[in-house]
Copies of this chain bind each other. A is one copy, B any other.
């Protein structure tokens, strides 16, 4: 599938490349005053205004008019495409939706309303053509997600998918930044592991696909699985580093088709040593959630707006409300429904704490609060999502741990 897409994908290299060795290349380039290559995100914000620049990307629209030709070019660096204005003489039958182009020209203020800057082209080079009949997406049509899903090799060319991927990339950066700024050491907990972490979910087993050369000798000396949680490895690390985290792929072999059950997903896990109360954990949960949300809103404003406009209208207000207030703590939850609680608290995230002791794993700290008997555990419930994070103080009293393991 991937290979057969080569034609439509308008491949990544130009046809004219001659290899040039060593430093002579950059010197030559400097002497020739080759135009600076700009990303579309830079060009649409007016970087290098008035300068001769080069922009590379894929054509999103073509509008030939009497004297002028208008193109929109996108390179994945932003939701916005760059408007290119050229003399009709530069038109080319290969300039179609989906074709890959390299445009050289002058970046100037646009006399038109829709965008502040545009590229006045003096050269348009089609480096990869695209047959508009074969290409599954059409100009100005809004395709359904069900339709787009049929073209996994091309869907990243749609606004919905490219926005989603940019948001995911920024959200990942934001999570790492939060932990780094707060003194956490990142640990790569193993993906292949022999532990099943308190039976957190159905496991995938891993075996070499072809048998080993030496008969009878197994690749792994014990059964090997894909990780369902890095918790046990992180707990070991938290005996030497007072703040550690991991953020990597996690696996569950649950045979269920839903938005909340994926065979493979990314999970953040952190261990904080020397905790005194649940507040030491809720602070990390809330601050990470808050800083990641703010980072994404700041770095992908247009991408987020696209989703607020077309996918989840009204969600923007919910997000704003989340960021405005500290998250409240709920109490005595046994009889209430999670979603109801979140709504009850004004549609913002809510911490639920002190769960019944018997519902929580053996390592959660016993609050010793007879007759309620709860554990020092916490979940963060978020509007529209449900449980986003969970955590607990760890039981450190050896006699209590031993007694519970005995049970």
Where the two chains meet, the residues of A that have a C-beta atom closer than 8 Å to any C-beta of B are 2-3, 5-7, 9-23, 25-26, 39, 41, 56-58, 75-77, 100, 102, 127-128, 152-154, 156-157, 161-162, 165-166, 168-169, 172-173, 176, 180, 183, 185-188, 190-192, 195, 202-210, 212-213, 219, 223, 225-226, 232, 235-244, 248-249, 251, 253, 255, 263-264, 266, 271-279, 326, 328-329, 331, 353-354, 365, 367, 376, 393-394, 396-398, 401, 405
Q: Which residues of B contact A20 (CB under 8 A)?
A: 277, 279
The CA-CA distance from A237 to B26 in the complex, in Å, is: 28
Nearest CB in chain B to that of A162: its residue: B240
A156 touches B237 (CB 8 A): yes
Subset of 30 A-B contacts with CB under 8 Å: A6-B401, A9-B236, A9-B239, A12-B272, A14-B274, A15-B397, A17-B275, A17-B365, A17-B376, A20-B279, A22-B328, A41-B183, A56-B242, A75-B241, A77-B183, A152-B236, A156-B240, A162-B240, A165-B185, A172-B188, A176-B176, A188-B249, A192-B251, A192-B264, A203-B208, A203-B209, A204-B206, A205-B206, A206-B206, A249-B249
B212 touches A255 (CB 8 A): yes
B263 touches A13 (CB 8 A): no
The CA-CA distance from A71 to B204 in the complex, in Å, is: 47
B273 touches A12 (CB 8 A): yes
A202 touches B210 (CB 8 A): yes
Chain copies in the assembled complex:
2
A39 touches B2 (CB 8 A): no
The CA-CA distance from A205 to B12 in the complex, in Å, is: 32
Q: Which residues of B contact A13 (CB under 8 A)?
A: 274-276, 365, 393-394, 396
The CA-CA distance from A20 to B376 in the complex, in Å, is: 11
How many whole Å from A39's CB to the nearest CB in chain B? 5
How many whole Å from A333's CB to the nearest CB in chain B? 13
Q: Which residues of B contact A205 (CB under 8 A)?
A: 206-209
The CA-CA distance from A157 to B241 in the complex, in Å, is: 8
Q: Which residues of B contact A244 (CB under 8 A)?
A: 76
The CA-CA distance from A11 to B331 in the complex, in Å, is: 28
The CA-CA distance from A13 to B367 in the complex, in Å, is: 13
Q: Which residues of B contact A19 (CB under 8 A)?
A: 277-278, 353-354, 367, 376
B274 touches A12 (CB 8 A): yes
A264 touches B190 (CB 8 A): yes
Q: Which residues of B contact A278 (CB under 8 A)?
A: 19
Q: Which residues of B contact A248 (CB under 8 A)?
A: 248-249
The CA-CA distance from A182 to B243 in the complex, in Å, is: 30
Q: Which residues of B contact A213 (CB under 8 A)?
A: 255
A241 touches B162 (CB 8 A): yes
Q: Which residues of B contact A263 (CB under 8 A)?
A: 192, 219
A185 touches B166 (CB 8 A): yes
The CA-CA distance from A266 to B190 in the complex, in Å, is: 11
The CA-CA distance from A364 to B188 in the complex, in Å, is: 32
Given contacts A185-B76, A255-B208, A396-B12, contact A57 B172 (CB under 8 A): no
